[in-house]
């Protein structure tokens, strides 16, 4: 399951970490009757963050709707390769302003979209398979959606090694459970990456490899989304 979100207004792993030296800039050659030119979409990571991988245009031409439609279609395999590696891609500084432009880019990435939202959060339908994602409560902090977690196996036998009575066993189980919960949240926050995105940015998320959440906000926002 993949989510593509629009906000309005392949690297290799080295010792378990991303080797930024292997992040390559993608070239796309556009030809017309007058001249041929190379427009670049560069890739990079935010400082001290392991995801998302960021793709952003280096020239004004690479922000045009026509170029973006062609680029997304031509580089579909590379985009999904990066999505598999990183779990999330932020297309930064694109300047997309309309739902129609967002839809054109989306259909160049996927050909099978869901036309009904399966969740409980409020989403208003804008057009075919394009929905709003701005109706969430602004002060709902730490809201997280997790579709897949490789849960560790709890070693229950460790609880019983030195227990003699039912009461001490209950305390041990309680403390173990609370400790496990604390470890889980410590890991959750340790590997959480918070970053700023701008009006017109597109965020592509692989829901089965990463979770995503929204932070509290105190201003008006407009977000569109689609999923496959």
Instruction: Report pLDDT for 173.
Output: 59
91 part of a folded domain: yes
Q: Give Cβ neighbours of residue 201 (< 8 Å, ≥ 6 apart).
A: 6, 7, 90, 91, 92, 93, 94, 96
| pLDDT > 70 fraction of the chain, expressed in percent and rounded | 53
Residues 153-176: tens digit of each pLDDT: 443 344 444 445 455 555 555 666
80 part of a folded domain: yes
| pLDDT > 90 fraction of the chain, expressed in percent and rounded | 0
Residues 182-206: tens digit of each pLDDT: 777 777 677 677 777 778 888 888 8
136 part of a folded domain: yes
User: Which tops the pLDDT comparison, 102 or 193?
Assistant: 102
Q: Identify the DSSP state of 3.
A: E
173 part of a folded domain: no
3-state SS assignment for residue 50 = coil
Tell me phi and psi for residue 48, to 5 degrees: 70, 15
Number of domains in the chain: 1
Where are the alpha helices (H) located in 87-207, listed in sequence order?
A: 99-107, 166-190
27 part of a folded domain: yes
CA distance 185 to 100: 40
Buried b (16+ CB within 10 A) or exposed e, 192-226: eeeeebeebbbbbbbbebbbbebeeeeeeeebbbb
CA 225 to chain centre: 12
Instruction: Report pLDDT for 192.
Output: 73
Locate 125 and state its tokens: 């339908």
pTM to 2 decimal places: 0.62
CA distance 38 to 216: 41
Instruction: Write out the DSSP string of 168-203.
Output: HHHHHHHHHHHHHHHHHHHHHHHT-------TT-EE
Cβ-contact 198, 90 below 8 angstroms: no
Instruction: Report pLDDT for 40.
Output: 74
178 part of a folded domain: no
Instruction: Report pLDDT for 2.
Output: 56
User: Which tops the pLDDT comparison, 152 or 95?
Assistant: 95
Q: Which domain holds residue 213?
A: 2-144+189-227
149 part of a folded domain: no
- pLDDT of residue 102 exceeding 60: yes
Residues 106-135: tens digit of each pLDDT: 888 877 777 766 665 667 778 787 877 765
Cβ-contact 51, 193 below 8 angstroms: yes
Instruction: Report pLDDT for 174.
Output: 63
Locate 126 and state its tokens: 């804008």
Residues 13-44: tens digit of each pLDDT: 343 333 444 433 333 333 333 333 445 778 87
């Amino acid at each position: 399951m993949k989510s593509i979100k629009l906000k309005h207004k392949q690297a290799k792993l080295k010792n378990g970490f991303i080797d930024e030296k292997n992040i390559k800039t993608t070239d796309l050659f556009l030809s017309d009757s007058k001249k041929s030119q190379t427009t670049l979409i560069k890739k990079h990571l935010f400082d001290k963050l392991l995801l998302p991988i960021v793709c952003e245009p280096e020239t004004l031409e690479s922000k045009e709707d026509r170029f973006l439609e062609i680029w997304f279609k031509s580089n579909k395999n590379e985009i999904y390769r990066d999505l598999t590696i990183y779990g999330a891609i932020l297309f930064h500084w694109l300047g997309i302003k309309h739902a129609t432009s967002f839809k054109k880019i989306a259909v160049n990435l996927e050909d099978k979209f869901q036309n009904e939202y399966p969740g409980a959060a409020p989403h208003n339908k804008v057009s075919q398979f394009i929905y709003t994602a701005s109706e969430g409560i602004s002060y709902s902090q730490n809201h997280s959606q997790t579709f897949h977690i490789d849960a560790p196996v709890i070693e229950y036998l460790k609880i019983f090694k030195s227990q003699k009575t039912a009461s001490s066993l209950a305390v041990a189980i309680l403390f173990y459970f609370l400790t496990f919960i604390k470890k889980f949240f410590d890991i959750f926050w340790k590997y959480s990456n918070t970053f700023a995105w701008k009006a017109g940015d597109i965020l592509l998320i692989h829901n089965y490899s990463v979770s995503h959440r929204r932070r509290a906000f105190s201003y008006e926002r407009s977000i569109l989304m689609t999923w496959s």
